[in-house]
Structure 1
Amino acid sequence: MTSIKLKFRPSAVQGKEGSLVFQLIHGRSVRRITSGYRIFAGEWDSKTGRILLPSLSSPRYTFLVSLKTELQWELENLRRMVEESETATGNVSLDEIAANFQPCTDTPDSVFNFIHEQVRHKKKLGKVRSVETYRSMLNSLMRFRKGVDLTFDMVDGGLLELYEAWMQGCGLTRNTTSFYMRILRTNYKLAVEKGLTPDRHPFRHVYCGMDKTVKRSMTFIEIKKINDLDLSRNPSLDFARDMFMFSFCTRGMSFIDMAYLKKTDLDNGCLAYRRKKTGQLLTMEWTEQMQAIMDKYKPNGTRYLLLIITREDGSERRQYQNQMRKINRHLKEIARLAGLPLPLSMYYSRHSWATIARGKDVPLSVISEALGHDSETTTQIYLDSIKSSEVDKANRMILEGL
């Protein structure tokens, strides 16, 4: 059994950063590998052997969070090397492991390391959602491979079919396995472009498409039932209902776009924002229904328009995610109170707006513009001649009677 731990070696100079070291113990043999990462003594917890994170407002917070991820990656890399050595020889040579160990970025032809580098690159670009999805796919692939890395030359159709079957065996839906496959395919094509492997077209026999899902939509009568509920005695349910209705009133605005709406996005009776998903600029008329929701709450002390993100301390994304979970949980109770037999969530507002609009004979092109479907080829041809005023007219028609 080989023990692999992270240790801190303080600097001999007072107040200077010390080194983080990987310590490997096998039997009576001990080897230490300097990681190349340095932190201050006050940032290390000797009892737990972990990095101590400062407050969110600290200028070192982001660096240390990123460093923890990098070190975890290096530890996993060392564990993989030990396992491979035990499998190949039945024994572990710490000298050999110490000599061969390299930072993950030094071996770009490795699939794990290549994708990990893409995660780091997207993090620098601020693409938070892409970082999360790439990391999730990489963790899935590493579990399938039991931590054993591979090169892109080893990625073939047979391997991908086994990976797909393994994911299905874990209970993932076809859309989820396809989502992971598409991310892996993107990285494979990038590796081909970089000359790391010839393109052997290994994704031909695995599913990379999109299954149609059950549309989560409601009738206008059902929307009105939710709007008319008296929830004044339960502020949490009341707020969840108001956020759902705000989304519906804003043509099915996604929750992440609602969370990041700024006060400056509302000007002279017009709300203008860019979709987080596509970057497309959407503008709409500010209606009395939207204002009625805003009038129920005290102004937010931050730059944000709604009371979803209430602190600007670096935890904005976590606040948005926590609020989304709470609101979706409360919406299920709201559906019960309204007598609606459905698992209500924020996503229902978007589908409902589109379905109701279509039922009122609003042109498909106007609906497409309203939802911001600029990247969907099935609706793109309708978008060029649509004006915001037409979309606002459609929205007023839908909101009548609320």
Structure 2
Amino acid sequence: MRSIRAAAVGAVVLSLALAATACGGGSSSGGGSNDSPKELTYWASNQGAGVEVDKKVLQPELDKFEKETGIKVKLEVVPWSDLLNRILTATTSGQGPDVLNIGNTWSASLQATGALLPWDAQNFEKIGGKDRFVASALGSTGAQGQDPAAVPLYSMAYALYYNKRMFADAGVTEPPATWDELVEVGKRISKDGKWGLGAEGSNPSNNIHQVFVLAKQHGADFFTADGKPDFTSDGAVAAVKQYVDLMARDKVVAPGNAEYAQNQSLSDFAKGKTAMVLWQTASATFASMGMKDDEWGVAPALVPSGTPGAGRATNSMVAGINMAVFKNTDNLDGATEFVKFMTSDAEQRILNKAYGSIPPVKGAQSDPAFHTRGTSVLRETLATSAAALPQVSDESQFETAVGTAVKELFADAANGREVTTGSVAEKLAKAQQQMPHK
């Protein structure tokens, strides 16, 4: 999911501006300001270095769509720190946009609200057919056995990005391949105001992405096979502790990163304050931050030992952004036409090039832009060593509960409070208690 993404990185802060924004937005506002069938409201997720970057990427394409169809698209780029709760509130209030981006990990949760248009065979046919899309991307569009709740828009995976100059200054000749190597390199660099690794400690969804992978590497998961929360297993506790210990014990992450929630770790990386960052499809973001292509390198994300692969060698979640339509839009034809436009081969090349992501549309992947040093690592990761987060109806609650627990543990570490196996287990037990009881 991003943030990019990836996020697809999610949210816990409810926007106080929601009511005003929603009422002035999409046609699901019940006859508000959008009575014209020639107008759509679109909530786009923040994929670039900032909201303004996304506006510069998207607005020319929306203008192109208006010229082709006569349908004006009113754009709002929603920061990841607000997006999930903005969407959840819109699903319950009935006030929201016509079309929106969602983190692919949220698909089943949002599908369970009943607010999103199901993409059955007939709806897929309107946008050129389901077989245009890569199977792995379709795997994160909703619960198994149900019609998808969304359509893939951008595909992403995590990789390790590193600052070549900082590595050279520290005498590091190769990027780390294992967590032990990362800590060793990080300790060599973490001095004189510089730090080894960046993190977004206040971003619950980013926290989830990292500890989900670490749990896989510890042979654990956060849900049982029948979809019940299992947050306090030895492997899950060990995964969360290992991640927070990068700050608390290993001291390769700056304490200030505990407050980071919206790309600040990327900014530090681009400015040469931090040597490494684990991120989704970040190359385009570095360029927008003024970092030259020859200043950074990229390698597969870390594993305990050996090389990335399946099972304990999983090194990324299957990340990506999906595009959904609110079922109560009064301009379903226009919304469907807009999804068709955004997932066309031509637009997929333009948009995924801009964001450094991988097109989930097969016909767009042949472009050389998706066979560069950066994108090749991502494609390989998605093909061989990434695992999808559970497509369960309570996934968004999981991101909020466990992601916030990790956030609180980072705050403890930043403030000098000891992070122990017991304190981690206590936080995770509290998170599990917050999950819906069925």
Answer whether TM exceeds 0.5 for this pair.
Answer: no
Larger RCO (CA under 8 A, 6+ residues apart): 2
Structure number with greater Rg is: 1
State TM-score, norm by structure 2. Answer: 0.28
Higher helix content, 1 or 2:
1
